[in-house]
Amino acid sequence: MKPELLSPAGSPAALEAAIAAGADAVYFGAQSFNARRNASNFTDEELRRAVALCRLYGVKTNIVLNTQLYGGELSPAISLAEQLLSYGADAFIVADIGLAKALHRLFPGVPLHASTQCTGQNALSARALAEIGFERMVAPRELPLSDIQKLCKDSPIETEIFIHGALCVSHSGQCLMSAMIGGRSGNRGECAQPCRLPYKTKNPYALSLKDLCLAAYVPALMDAGVASFKIEGRMKTPDYVYGVVSAYRRLIDEHRGATPEEIRRMAALFSRSGFTDGYYHENISKHMLGIRTDADKQTTASVSDGNKSTGYALPKMPLSLSAEFRENEPAVLRGTVKRGEETFSAEVKGELCVSAQKTPTSKERLAENLGKLGATPFAPASVAVEADEINIPISAVNALRRSLCDRLQEKLIGEISVYPSFDGRLPKRTGAVDTDGRSAYFSFYDSLTEKALRYFNRIFLPLTEYAAHAEQLKAHRNVGIAFPPVAFDRELPTVRALAEEAYANGARIALIPGFWQAEMADEIGFEKHGDLRLNLYNSESAAVYAERGFASVIVSPEVGVSVTKGLAAALPKGYVVYGRLPLMTMEKCMIRDAFSDKDDRASCRYCDTHKISKLTDRTGATFPVLREFRHRNVIFNSVPTYMADKPLAGLFAHAIFTDESRASVDDIIERLKNRQPSKTKFRRL
């Protein structure tokens, strides 16, 4: 079966370009609650027209509601979804788990697609997302072919992959950089793209990736069982949408990979120093880096000038007409239209045909007027007319034609499903589990002091760090593991083996940054504590984690303290009171590319000998960069968050220790205990 070709549509013009180019489905957003706030997007009337147009052409509409939502935004987002369902929208792409759960409950049967912002990474993630109500998971852009194949084979729900377009250097849903250094939240559709800025490294643009292009590998991805090929680009022009979508349409239909010339033409439409397929081939190196150069812009400008497009003509569907004009009987017009592999038929009746007193209306003239389909979405495939010696006004013939076209369009658009109405009220969430507990994450065992072991109720070490010091940790029941933020299907056996070993060693608590980690923790027997990477913003999401047996959750640092305290939850809530926040989690080893002469993972040992590397931006701010599981990197903020001197009634305090010395750890603990102000530079949340 062919995969769905899913096109971006950042504007009504881009949507028409997508339909004209042969997209099977489009994704677009309203003016709010979508991750491309700066795209043109669609007004209410444009949304209604867009959905109707797509239904007419048999193109699915996947509406993006893919931002994290504060509590007061949930009802408006659900009302927007209800409105779009009344227009006939097909599915929603959702990032906020609370919103997804509410939509699944309120509108049973509506397809929900888990955005990449949900950080679904493997078949375990897909299993958890399926239980919440999702029918499809948008996979990470970082997956190689082998993991795409395994995910498609083992996932209980459909798999959608990005096949073309911009790459974020951070795993989706795990980037706080724009929010923390620029006040513009990537999780809420306002990313300022700090990854595209220069830094003081060997390659100034150490975080800027070329655009993705997997056009050469279409057959392998089709054979893997991918349900949907997604093209990025809601900020792109209609020319870009038409050119890229039409190219992939040909490749899918012909089950072949793109030629170098076809890829060159797509690069001319938009690229950043060309394209990359590094993740697909696991060739993750500095060759993946690229920026939008002046030469790139000039090439795109010349292509656009050559096209000078003012819009793309929507395709015409072939319509076969047959008419009967019998004496003393109503005129009858029948039509059959083909839309892809589907056939639609309709019949209408018109005015009474009267016997011709003089010259009868000729069959040729009747056929000519019936075939004038003009601005309709139809083109005449054939016109057959049977007529007695009758007279009928041409205006009546035209009315007959218009009536048939209207009837066929109604059939093509189809009936719109009716769902229960939403009264604007969500279930009243209750529960405030007050706690004065304390938890901490330590990047390194060496920083873990005796004072820390006594002060914190729960301490989490990275899984590999715990494994390396298991003997020393046996006596400390308040120390557990932090599951890695990212692992693909082929890596799960290694993660499981390490986690089971930690459990056998006495570890009983685990810090959970995502859904697959929660699934694995349940299977092994760990008590689950939600990390800030869960992106918890509202009470509906908190209810999901409570239902799934979490013992506690840390609320997103993008939610203010006062809002966090008022967030109803049937489990303890925590807040970051100290530490450098993890700003990006990267598949690509920036440490190697920025500081080492090596160009591949196998030969690079830089991370093994350098616990902490530093990334310095144009302002002189320095960000620690640490190695994560399997050569991944995490960038931490240049200054620590400090909230210990602020009231946190009812919340437990969470601290993050990365590059602090042991003496500094103990000093910070004293300040936390006594709620003293920080004596170093810090940032507030």
pLDDT tens sequence across 64-78: 999 999 999 999 999
Helical ranges in 440-479 per DSSP H: 450-455, 463-468, 470-473
Q: What is the pLDDT of residue 436?
A: 73
CA dihedral 596→445→615→639, nearest 10 degrees, is -170
Q: What is the DSSP string of 254-295?
A: HT-PPPHHHHHHHHHHS-SSSEE-HHHHT--SGGGB----HH
β 136-138/158-165 pair status: parallel
Of residues 497, 483, 490, the one with CA closest to residue 143: 490
Residue 480's alpha-carbon distances to 78, 439, 456, 460, in angstroms, are 39, 11, 12, 5
pLDDT tens sequence across 266-285: 999 999 999 999 999 999 98
Note the Cα 402 to chain centre separation in Å: 42
CA atoms within 13 A on the CB side of 583: 28
Domain 438-674 has CATH 3.30.1490: no
**Looking at beta carbons, which pairs linking 366-374 to residues 24 or more positions away fall under 8 Å?**
366/323, 366/325, 366/392, 366/397, 367/323, 369/394, 369/397, 369/398, 369/401, 370/321, 370/323, 370/333, 370/397, 370/400, 370/401, 371/321, 372/398, 372/401, 373/316, 373/319, 373/401, 373/405
pLDDT tens sequence across 137-167: 999 999 999 999 999 999 999 999 999 999 9
Of residues 283, 170, 291, 162, the one with CA closest to residue 233: 162
Confidence tier at 37 by pLDDT (50, 70, 90):
low
First to last CA, the chain: 49
Q: Right CATH number for 4-167+211-258 from 2.40.240.10, 3.30.1340.30, 3.20.20.70, 3.40.50.1100?
A: 3.20.20.70
- 338: enclosing H helix or E strand: strand 330-339
Asked which of 291-300, 527-536, 620-629 is least confident by mean pLDDT, the reply is: 291-300
Name the residue type at position 153.
Answer: K
Mean pLDDT, residues 645-652: 88
pLDDT tens sequence across 459-513: 999 999 999 999 999 999 999 999 999 999 999 999 999 999 999 999 999 999 9
Give the integer Cα–Cα distance in Å for 245 and 591: 36
Q: What is the pLDDT of residue 309?
A: 56
**Burial (CB count <10 Å: 0-12, 13-18, 19+), residue 46:** middle
Q: Kindly report whether the global pTM for this prediction surpasses the value 0.85.
A: yes
Name the residue type at position 386.
Answer: E
Collapsed DSSP state (helix, strand, coil) of residue 301 = helix
pLDDT tens sequence across 85-117: 999 999 999 999 999 999 999 999 999 999 999
Quote the DSSP letter at residue 215: G
Give the integer Cα–Cα distance in Å for 530 and 575: 11
Confidence tier at 610 by pLDDT (50, 70, 90):
confident
Q: The tokens 């010395």 sit on which residue?
A: 661
pLDDT higher for 34 or 345?
345
HEC profile of 181-196: HHCCCHHHCCCCCHHH
Of residues 174, 166, 68, the one with CA closest to residue 121: 174
Quote the DSSP letter at residue 201: S
Collapsed DSSP state (helix, strand, coil) of residue 335 = strand
Q: What is the pLDDT of residue 396?
A: 96
Top mean-pLDDT range of 416-430, 592-606, 667-681: 667-681
Cβ 515 vs Cβ 128: under 8 Å: yes
Mean pLDDT, residues 519-525: 98
Of residues 521, 525, 502, 499, the one with CA closest to residue 512: 521
Sign (positive or negative) of CA dihedral 443, 448, 451, 456: positive
Supply the mean pLDDT for the chain: 93
Cβ 469 vs Cβ 445: under 8 Å: yes
The size of the chain, in residues, is 685
Give the integer Cα–Cα distance in Å for 129 and 157: 9
Mean pLDDT, residues 514-524: 98
Q: What is the pLDDT of residue 271?
A: 94
Assigned token pair, 536: 């918890």
